[in-house]
Chains A and B, each alone.
Chain A
Amino acid sequence: MHIVVCVKQVPDTKVIKINPKTNTLDRRGVPSILNPYDTHAVQEAVHLKQQYGGKVSVLSMGPPQATAVIKKSIEIGADEGYLISDRAFAGADTLATSYALTKALEKISKTSPIDMVFCGKHAIDGDTGQVGPGIAKRLDIPPITNISAITKVTKDYVELQRKLQDGYAYIRSTLPCLITIEKEINEIEYASFPNMLKAVHFQPVVWSVDHLENVDRKQLGLKGSPTVVGKMFAPPKQEGGHRLEGTPEEQVKQLVEVLKDKQDLFHVNKS
């Protein structure tokens, strides 16, 4: 079984700040991390490898620094790493990203056929979740999104638990297929010492556009991206409501008064 996990390097959005005067991002000192959903995807692929044999490769598109997230994947237990890196990829939206990643996946599968492609449910910077289904469409394999458990794997098919708005669907899909991973699928384990050592020295295979085959350059990067950012603006200010004044006791008293006619919404805890 050969699983390829698409992994993205993202800014740690927890520490990004906006400059309120200019409405621009302040990226100074913002660390980059492996997209959390992709971390779970790599972990899941490694679990499957341990159970069923085979190997796990990871693929990333990004600047040379993105090597860091490939090394991180090696720590978790991935075997091989590929980085596609070229100015021509820069500025890609989800359509152009899925195109470039698909070209790399096609090249990988030539030497080592792929049974499953894993993506994260979404990347925490862009938050779209559009790249995975896009790759599946381009590779003409079924996409199954929002996977919270892989319940059975055979040579020809997999059975999956897919998270819905209000419950779960159990799905069987033929292989190869592409799935996108939810966080609840597993717990991230501590990296083993040998894997950590391996990661330190690991160098991914790096491909530029010229290494990929049958590429239509018009579909790459900024040129290949139908969407553009029109403008950035502060969200419309809303009228703030009423301020309650005074000591905590006084404020609470006013609140209790305000909520008098809403008390049927409250239920006394009987326990």
Chain B
Amino acid sequence: MSEQHRGIWVFAEVNDGTIAGVSLELLGVGRVLADKLDVPLAGVLLGENITPLSEQLIHYGADEVYVIDDPVLKDYRTEPFLAGMGKLARMYVPEIILYGATPNGKDIASAIATDLKTGLTADCTMLDVNVEKRLLEASRPAFGGNIMATILCKKHRPQMATVRPKVMKSLPADPARKGTVIEEKLQMKEEEIRTKVLEIIKGPGKSVDLEGADVIVCGGKGMGDEQGFQLIHQLADTIGASVGGTRDAVEAGWLSHDHQVGQTGETVTPKIYFAIGVSGAIQHTVGMKNSEMIIAINKDPDAPIFDIATYGMVGDAREILPVMIKAFDERLRENEVVSHA
């Protein structure tokens, strides 16, 4: 570790020619940290024909953008991306690097951490800096329940963290912002790379659309059994919502893993989120707490889910849900009749 390490970097993930939302969110939180430490904030762009995207990173808060534009970086592969990031990090010695906790972000971050022999904290949901000690305070839910742990990397630089998508907020784009673009080259030939991307198929992998849903009905262990869980499906069917579940509901076998919301499932931000028979453990709430409106039903008036619910209903879900389904159903059919008239 040395005094030379300065500046905060954000790895800008590019998919299909667009910058991933999480990278813009990281620029938002990175801006705050950079201002506290009084250092520049930089975006790092690796890919093919991506140089024009530098401007967007600047509009969202970057002071500098490091770019390597090279055909071997067309699709994400660990080897060339590691070579590129490793080269930049050794040349320009940042003190902090942030990555989205996406499959590619986690992959590159893990490889770089080993390459640079430094620490990496996974799946953070809160970031701050200790200005005096120039320490990144990376906090994440810790195993086993409602507790957060702050992870520090005291003696190694850069300090690195992956951050869950949708937990940080991006800044509004400012088209007047100016910044510098620093271009570097990667000396790597396609023949040297041991992995090839044969094909990329978008979309069909996901049978469940949670990410894009406006309304999600999520059921937890409190639904009792598989039959009880049918009420969740019925409500979702009635109002045309997507179905989510807690890990406990998934592990009970009531629905498949791709429905899981939370730290090890999806992070969602629908307009309305129903949390029914869900206790509100932190590993669950990190995946849904930024929903616009949260409606919780739980028979325990002290369940933590009520701390984040916009509307809380204390009671037995098995009693409330049939009433609710009937009410919504009537309401919606009425409206339909009106709109068809």
Which residues of A does B touch, CB under 8 Å?
Answer: 11, 13-14, 16-18, 20, 23, 25, 93-95, 98, 122, 124-134, 136-138, 141-146, 159, 162-174, 177, 183-184, 225-235, 237-244, 248-249, 251-253, 255-256, 258-259, 262-263, 265-269
Contacts and interface: CB of A to CB of B under 8 A. Distances in A.
B92 interface: no
B122 A129 contact: yes
B185 to A, nearest CB: 22
Contact of B312 (A169, A242, A248, A252): A242
A100 to B, nearest CB: 13
Contact of A137 (B82, B104, B199, B289): B82
A230 B150 contact: yes
A140 to B, nearest CB: 10
A238 B120 CA distance: 28
B238 interface: yes
B205 A173 contact: no
Contacts of B264: 122, 124, 127
B311 A241 contact: yes
B323 A230 contact: no
B336 interface: yes
Interface in B140-177: 141-156
Given A255-B295, A266-B239, A130 B110 contact: yes
A196 to B, nearest CB: 24
A138 B203 contact: no
Interface residues of B, number: 96
Contacts of B120: 94-95, 128, 130, 227
A263 B335 contact: yes
Nearest to A36: B251
B165 to A, nearest CB: 8
B141 to A, nearest CB: 8
Contacts of B107: 133, 143, 145-146
B183 interface: no
A101 to B, nearest CB: 12
A24 B272 CA distance: 34
A171 B196 contact: yes
Interface string B8-32: 0000000100001000000000000
Contacts of A20: 146
A269 B195 CA distance: 46
A18 B204 CA distance: 39
Nearest to B270: A265
A240 B309 contact: yes
B189 to A, nearest CB: 15
Interface stretch (B50-58, B61-69, B324-332): B324-332
B206 A166 contact: yes
B333 A171 contact: no
A11 B144 CA distance: 9
Nearest to B333: A268
